[in-house]
């Protein structure tokens, strides 16, 4: 697929679009924080086999999209506006959103803000509708590690420019085959920490100020919703996923024996459950 680009605020957003059977909902894939669209490798292969049109977006600050330095470029409204702009540019009206982790958050915020062009279905993978982390425990990692990174970012020692090219070479699939030392190295080497902290801070702000809106949007959403969680997920613990299921009684919950990268950890079973659900919204 040839990469395409969109911008609404001088931040260039990279995406891959492939049209197939236009009678079926196009599948919009939104990756997690610190990753890129390569995490959908196996899911995309299955989508092609099943003749679904697909839209893969590299979120701002990730993959081949631009990586602005300003914190106000990473609000949830900015992320949602990018999605809206691409859908309008490509004249896409019949679609479903598949969002993993932070990508699921963006899907939820999109549905909260833009009620006139709602997706036909939602798949929320290892995500939550409410900001889940305590201060200096972002992503549930070691608090000392978090504190040090935050201060390196705050004092300008680590900037987004350091990662401007490295992030483009990152393949999410390789993380699964590495031991813990190389996993940490990969995350440090390829991830723009300022993007992560700015995005998480923006998520907390939105959650603190507008969570009632989010709850109302999810409760009133008329399409089918599939919620997926991993039993050993430490980033978004399973209980957070179950809490969202309670909030949306008409949603369906699938629980896997896995961690926080289910689309890559168990692609066969993941794709089976995912596409069984997606076939119901055709």
Lowest mean pLDDT among 102-106, 159-163, 189-193, 237-241: 159-163
Q: In the 8-state DSSP scheme, what is residue 95?
A: E
State the first-to-last Cα distance of the chain, in angstroms, to the nearest integer. 24
Q: Check residue 162 and give its pLDDT.
A: 53
Q: Within 10 Å of residue 185's Cβ, how many Cβ atoms?
A: 11
User: What one-character-per-residue DSSP string does 3-67 give?
Assistant: EEEE-SSS--EEEEEE---TTSPEEEEE--TT--GGGGHHHHHHHHHTT--EEEE--TTSTTS--
How much is the pLDDT for 172?
60
Is the CB of residue 277 less than 8 Å from the CB of residue 223? no
Q: Give the largest CA-CA distance in the chain.
A: 52
Average pLDDT of span 222-248: 96
The predicted-structure confidence for 17-51, as pLDDT tens digits, reads as follows 999 998 999 999 999 998 899 999 999 999 999 99
Domains and CATH numbers, the chain: 3-281 (3.40.50.1820)
Residue 12's closest CA among 58, 76, 77?
58
d(CA 90, CA 93): 9
What is the predicted pLDDT for the residue at 168? 59
| Sheet containing 13-18, strands listed edge to edge, beginning at the edge strand earlier in sequence | 3-6, 13-18, 54-57, 26-30, 95-100, 122-125, 225-230, 252-256
Question: Hey, which residues does 252 pair with through a beta bridge?
Answer: 226
User: What gap in Å lies between CA 193 and CA 199, rounded to an integer?
Assistant: 10
pLDDT band, residue 57 (cuts 50/70/90): very high
How far, in Å, CA of 250 to CA of 219, rounded? 9
Categorize the per-residue pLDDT at 236 as very low, low, confident or very high, splitting at 50, 70 and 90: very high
């Amino acid at each position: 697929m040839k990469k395409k680009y969109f911008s609404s605020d001088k931040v260039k957003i990279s995406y891959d679009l492939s049209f197939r059977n236009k009678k079926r909902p196009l599948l919009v894939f939104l990756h997690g924080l610190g990753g890129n669209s390569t995490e959908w490798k196996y899911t995309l292969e299955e989508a092609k086999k099943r003749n679904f049109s697909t839209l893969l977006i590299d979120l701002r600050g990730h993959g081949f999209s631009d990586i602005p330095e300003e914190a106000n470029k990473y609000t949830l409204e900015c992320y949602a506006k990018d999605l809206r702009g691409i859908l309008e540019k490509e004249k896409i009206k019949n679609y479903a959103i598949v969002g993993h982790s932070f990508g699921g958050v963006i899907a939820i915020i999109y549905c909260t803000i833009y009620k006139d062009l709602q997706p036909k279905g939602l798949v929320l993978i290892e995500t939550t509708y409410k900001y889940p982390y305590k201060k200096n425990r972002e992503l549930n990692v070691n608090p000392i590690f978090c504190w040090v990174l935050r201060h390196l970012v705050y004092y300008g020692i680590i900037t987004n420019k350091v990662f401007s090219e490295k992030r483009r070479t990152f393949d999410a699939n390789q993380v699964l085959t590495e031991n813990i030392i190389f996993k940490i190295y990969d995350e440090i080497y390829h991830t723009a920490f300022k993007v992560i902290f700015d995005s998480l801070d923006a998520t907390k702000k939105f959650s603190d100020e507008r969570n009632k809106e989010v709850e109302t949007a999810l409760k009133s959403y008329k399409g089918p919703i599939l919620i997926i969680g991993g039993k050993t997920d430490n980033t978004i613990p399973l209980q957070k996923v179950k809490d969202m299921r309670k909030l949306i009684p008409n949603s369906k919950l699938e629980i896997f024996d896995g961690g926080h990268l289910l689309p890559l950890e168990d692609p066969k079973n993941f794709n089976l459950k995912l596409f069984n659900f997606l076939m119901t919204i055709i």
